Structure formats: structure tokens, C-alpha cells
Structure 1
């Protein structure tokens, strides 16, 4: 019979004994059935009727002692009421509970998938390359296609202008960098008066982003960093600096004074001084090409020096042979005791060629020295590039044909002629020798020497 069950009655239930029943308030709301099938504590069930049949839904084991496990009577009654409401609203309690469990399982699965997706996206984001890594990837892509001096300059920009001057921007994900961040990098360079350098750094950053946009999925790319770039933030910054054509040419008096005093300048080392004179003596060769050549490029028997000309976009490398005058050979003989035991002709460390920026510093040091004046007047600034221009105009003034002077200075050859020249570097040696002889005659006159150095060129 149905009655109110208490803890004492539950404790008094015998194994395999008759079950106890407690009806829930309200007609047709069902009842709580207590059964003890064995030695274990009694179990509670919710009993309800549907379509003339009785159904049991287990609530749980009963707690019969202070330290025992299971549900207390109040907890059992609360759960029974919840199930009674389900029976009243949905009829089939078991089916509804099964539906709820399936729904909960689906929600758990969806939650696990969402969490896994979050972890995946976080991992992808963590793997995204930074601006510094993008720039370094770009540098690696240029190795072997541009001059080593250009690679060294890119590495300097990465180290100095990005990692040291702007570490916060350098460490940002490359795809998160915006035009304002690029401006943050360029503005200090511009403000210190280096407008040309600011424009160069802008061009380098622009090229790095273009590389990242097009080459990320290239099979030949060695880096496995992902950047997922969608735009080039540098493209939105205008090119501010307007380059002006350089026209500085040394006067005959300036050239003579420079030649006679550069080796006497305490601020300029003996190797550097002779490098600057050698550039003049060879008709104004590009100083960066001359400075990186090893001793093996000098052929003392043929009196030639081999340069590798990779100037211009695309970096097409070609051999440029220079016929050497007696003046140029004397300079090599002077520097040989200083660097002859090393790989490179023009080195101060013995391990690598003179840095590409060093000649410009040396010229500035000479200008700042006591030799930087003629008759008390300061000589206007010039650079090693201006020595090349000075030599070109000297040849023109003394009647050396433009075509052969261009050959001597390795101005670009195109078309069939250029192809023949690249395949046979010695083809133009006779014409270059003719230009060198004319230049040596002109240089001797400017230096106030008797024309005796032309000899065999």
C-alpha cells in the first residue's frame, strides 16, 4: 500500500523483500517505488502509467546512512517530480529522456568540434610569419640573383631599421601590418635627412610583400612559414623622394690633389687609399665590383683584371675584363705585401672584401682632413661614384670615342652584340685597351706627369 516513506522504513527493507511505494501528490502524477533486490541499498524508481501500462524509470540508489553513498529522500522526491512533469508534458518519459541525452550528446560533440577548431585556428595564427620573417624570406629569395652587396644591404635594413629600430612592428604578424606601421618605420629615416634611404627601405618592404603575396605557395621556396597575406600595406604609401641626377665631376685640380694626397691621409688606411686610386687608374670602374674581386682575378701575364658585372634588374652576370696600365699594376704591386697572403685584393680584415660603404666614408674622411682644401678653399663633397663620372668625362675631353669608353666602363651592351660579349669576354679587349691608353694619356696630363705610363696597357 502507498504511504509516506521515511529513512527508518528504507533501512528496514529486507533483501528481496516487498517493495515500498510513495504516491506523488496529484491524481495520475505517478509514484516512487523503492526496491531492494539484494544486499545493496534500496533503489528508487519513478513509476507512471501510459496507455494502460506501468513503466519504471530508475532515479538512483538510496542513501541509508550518514556516510553512505546515494540520494537522500528529498533528492529522490525532487527528481521524481521532474520526471512526473516530463510524463505529464510528453507522455513517454524514457523516449523523452533518450531524446534529451541524444541532444546533449550532439551539443557536447559540437562543443568539442568548436574547441578543436579554435585550437586549430590558434595554431595556424601562431604559425603565421612575422614581418621580420617575411623580409628574411625575401632576402633568401634574392641570394644568387643579385650582388652580394645588395644582399648585405637588405640584411642591414632587416637588422637596423626593423629589428633594432622597430622591434614591435618587426615581430607583428606580416598580415596584420598596416600602412601606419610602415610609416612608423620610414618616418625616423626621413626625419634624419636620409630621404633617399627612406625611399629605398620603402621599396624593399614593398618588394618583400609582393614576394609574399605571389610566392608563398611556390614549390621552390625553402621556408615553410605561412603569411596568408591579403594586401600590400606599403602600396598605400606614396613614393616621396624624387631622385635627382648626379652631376658632380671633379676638376682637374681636385683630381690631381686627391690622387697626390689620399695615400698621405692618416684617416684613410693604405689599402683603402690605393683602392680609390686603382678605381681612377682603371678608367672609373664601379668600386663595388673592383673591391670584391680575389687575387685570382688578376692575370699578371695578360695584364688584365676580371670583374663580374651584375648591374641592373635581373642581375645578369657577365665577365668584364679590364686591361691594366702600368699605373694600375704598380698599385697592385704596392698592395700585394699588405693583402697578398689573403684571398681578396682589397681587404682590411683578411677574411672578406672591404665593405661597400667604406669607400664613401674614406672620401668623407679625406674631405674632412687637412687635405680637403685647395688654396684654403674647401673642396665640395663628392663620392666614389663621382670618380667614375670624372673619368668618363676626362676620356670624352681628350678624344676617346664614346663607344670604346663605354666598353671600358662596362656600360650595358644589348642585343646580338651584348650576347656575343657575354659569351666571349676577350672580344672587346683590343678596343678597351685603346680606350685605356687614351685615358692614361689624359690622366698623366691632368696629374702633370710626362706621358710615360701608357706603355703596354
Structure 2
């Protein structure tokens, strides 16, 4: 057979030997000077010829395994026998050529899957989730985008470039740990929460028609953040609400602060310490003589943004008028084109009372108001209705359409009377 190989004519096939299982081994001299082995047989009367590999004239003459360069003649015979067996076993389905086609389709599918995986990355899912929150009207969309961009996309570019399906719980923990070790426990919990939410939306897209179909492209069947643990200490609520005396001090200090800043921080307190993010987004069109309408976007993704109606007592109405609502947004430094940020409102409040309440934080107003109202006998339900929290249960969510405006107004008047020390014990404080 070695002599037959040496005597090959360029471009012509030569039978070297019969293959016992089926067909024969052939060789052909290519235009490059290399020699190619083939297995040849018939299927349904038609000739079938399958390439095996190149002849390696340096391979051991009796070797049965191919080298990196090609095959010895015995190795080519062994390979031809393997092809013949596979051909016969698959003869009814199209023989060995059909197996080759199936393999190509499988490889093509795997290649396509790899291409898709590279496109549907962790980074793209993080940004898509932020966009999704924005379309739902969630006020958290800005925070989600900032947190995920800063602590995932920018901090871990290699992980962010991975297919979303390949992110592991260990990866998520590493992301969270880096933030936690920087002394930002609360932020670390937010990072975990937003990663978990983004992957859950993609996972739920398979069975939830309300979620955009594009999320199905991430092919998420497992949420890598689900089994990770939050830092419970960092998630604890603020245990330092403003006491009655401090609330009065706060009010008496800000009641005469001039301009927009004074009007805005007074409105915040006199409406019951509403969530700052919701209050600053107040639309001019959502103001009436008697109340304002805010939009509570907290809750699970996919849920509706809930209208939250807050009555205006006379002092709050006055503060709102002093803010000069115009244009789209009521609380604005740009004639309503954009609204002031929650950081701006918080900064104004802190600056106004820095001398009398040096440790004051604006978030203490909300808890302080609720604590004070509780001491004045305002029920837990009315406090929850006023501050838009604690509204749970099927009856409360779906069947109770009453707006509770009289009860909310009564609670706010009680708050105002205490702040003005009307009918309450007069509390003296040192403003120095």
C-alpha cells in the first residue's frame, strides 16, 4: 500500500484496500503535494466519499492513532472502520453524511449560543433592568442605574462582560464583599438587592407576559443572588427619630427661612414627612387647592405605580405657593423644566438647622412625625395612609377605595398644632 501511495497521480482517487465492515480506503494526491485519505462506499445506489485526514509519512508505520500531522495507513484503516460502523448504524437515517450534517448543525447551534451569550451580558442586563424600572415609573430607577454601574459594571468589568447566565453566587458575593469592606454596609445591601431583582426579572420573563420579551434572551433559569445573604445590621431602620422637642426646634428654625429652600423644606414637614424622592417629583398638574398627588413607585417590579393623595393644610398650602410652581415640575430652580433633587432638599434642610441640631438628618423627619402622631393618638392605619406605607392585604389594596383625606388632614393639623405649640406643652430650647 505504501508503494501505491507513492505512485498516485495528482487529482485521482486510488483504492488502497477494502474495509471489512463496509466500503474501502482510498487515497488522493492533492495539488499541494499532500496525500488525503478517504472512506468510500454507497448509499441508496449513490457514491459516498468521506475525508479521513492527511497521510503522515513520518508516523510510525504500525501506529493506530493519528499524529498531529495526520495518519499512518493502519491508523487510516482504523478510522475508516469507525466511519463504516457509524454509517451502517445510521443507514436508515441517511448514513454517515447525515451524521456529519447533524454534527455541523449542533456545532452551528453551539456557536450561535456562544454569540448570543456574549451579547446578553451581565452589564446589558443591569442596564436593561434600570431602563425597565424607568418605564414602570419607579423612582428607584436612577439609584438602580447608579448602584449597578458603579459597583458592578465599572468595579468589575470582566464580570460585567460575562454572559449573564454564567454569573455565580460566588461572583455576587465578591461584588458585595468589596463594597462592604469599604465600610458601606447599606450600599452593599442595595447592590445585592438590585442584582437579585435584575436577575429575577429575567428569570420571570419566561412565565410572566407582563415583562418585556427581550428579557427572555438572557436565558436565566437560576438567580445567582438568591442564596446570598444581606447584612442585617446595615438593613436596620433608623432608631433615632426626631423627638417632639427636636421637631418643634426644627420647625421654629425653618418657618422663616426665605425663598424656595425655605418653602420646600416647610412643605416637606407640613405634609407629614413624605418620601423626599416622591415629593421633589411633584408635578404642577397634580396640585389642587386642597391636596397634592404623589406617585408611590415602591414595590415589586411589574406592579402599578400607586397614587398617593396628601391633603394640604393652610400652612402647607402657603409653603407650596411660596415655592412658585410653574412648568412641569412644581419644585424647581429652572422654572419647572426639571425638579430639584432629593439631595438638594436634604442639603437645604441640614444647612438650615446646622447650628441648633448639628446631628440632624432629614430622614429623621419621617420617623419623627410618625412617632409624634402616634403619641397624639393617631392610629397606625391613618399614619400608614398619610405616609404611604403599611398598606397591605387584599382588602386594603383592591377594595378599599376611600381616600382617607379627612383623617389625614386631621393628623396633619395635630402635627401643626404641636409644631406651633398650640394646645401643647411649651418647650423651651436653646438656639445657641
CA contact (8 A) 2:417 2:423 kept: no
CA distance in 2, matches of 1:97, 1:184: 54
Query: Is the 2:123–2:153 Cα contact (8 Å) retained in structure 1?
Result: yes
2:280 aligns with: 291
- Greater shift, 254-263 or 278-287, is seen at 254-263
Q: Note if 1:335 corresponds to 2:314.
A: no
Aligned counterpart in structure 1 of residue 48 of structure 2, from 102, 112, 120: 102
Please say if 1:348 is aligned against 2:333: yes
Structure 1 residues 328 and 93: alpha-carbon distance in aligned structure 2, compared to 1, 3 A threshold: closer
The worse-fitting range, judged by mean Cα deviation, of 213-222 and 198-207 is: 213-222
**Match of residue 200, structure 1, among 162, 172, 190:** 190
1:304-344: CA deviations, max 9, x gaps?
222334544474544433332222122112110xxx33211
1:390 equivalenced with 2:381 (yes/no) = no
- Higher Rg of the two aligned structures: 1
SS of 1:250 mapped into structure 2: coil
Instruction: Mark the CA change 1:179 to 1:361 in structure 2 (over 3 Å): closer, same or farther.
Output: farther
**Quick check: 1:229 aligned with 2:220?**
yes
Tell me the equivalent position of 1:379: 358
* SS of aligned partner of 2:214: coil
Aligned residue in 1 for 2:161: 171
- Which deviations, in whole Å up to 9, do the C-alpha atoms of 1:199-244 show, x marking residues without a partner? 1211221222233333247555331762333533223433333322
In structure 1, how many angstroms separate the alpha carbons of the residues matched to 2:183 and 2:251? 31
TM-score, normalised via structure 2 length = 0.67
**What is the RMSD of the two structures over their aligned residues, measured on CA atoms?**
4.3
Q: Which moved more, 1:120-129 or 1:133-142?
A: 133-142
What is the rounded CA distance, in whole Å, between the counterparts of 2:423 and 2:345 in structure 1? 22
For the Cα contact (< 8 Å) 2:254–2:262, is it kept in 1?
Answer: yes
CA deviations 1:47-66 (Å, max 9, x no partner) are: xxxxxxxxxxxx9xxxxxxx
| Residues 368-394 of structure 1 deviation map (CA, whole Å, 9 limit, x = unaligned) | xxx5233xxx63242x33102222233
Checking the alignment, whether the CA contact within 8 Å between 1:149 and 1:356 is kept in structure 2 is no
Query: Structure 1 421/286 Cα, relative in aligned 2: closer, same or farther at 3 Å?
Result: farther
- Counterpart-to-counterpart distance in 1, 2:151 and 2:312: 41
CA distance in 2, matches of 1:449, 1:273: 26
Contact 1:263–1:270 (CA under 8 A) maintained in structure 2: no
Counterparts of residues 266-281 of structure 1 (less than 5 Å): 270-281=259-270
For the Cα contact (< 8 Å) 1:254–1:379, is it kept in 2? no
Q: What is the correspondence of 1:30-69 to structure 2 with a 5 Å cutoff?
A: none
The secondary structure found in structure 1 opposite 2:162 is: coil
Compute the TM-score of the two structures, normalised by the length of structure 1.
0.64
Task: Give the deviation of 1:445 after TM superposition.
Answer: 1.0
d(CA) in 1 for partners of 2:327, 2:295: 20
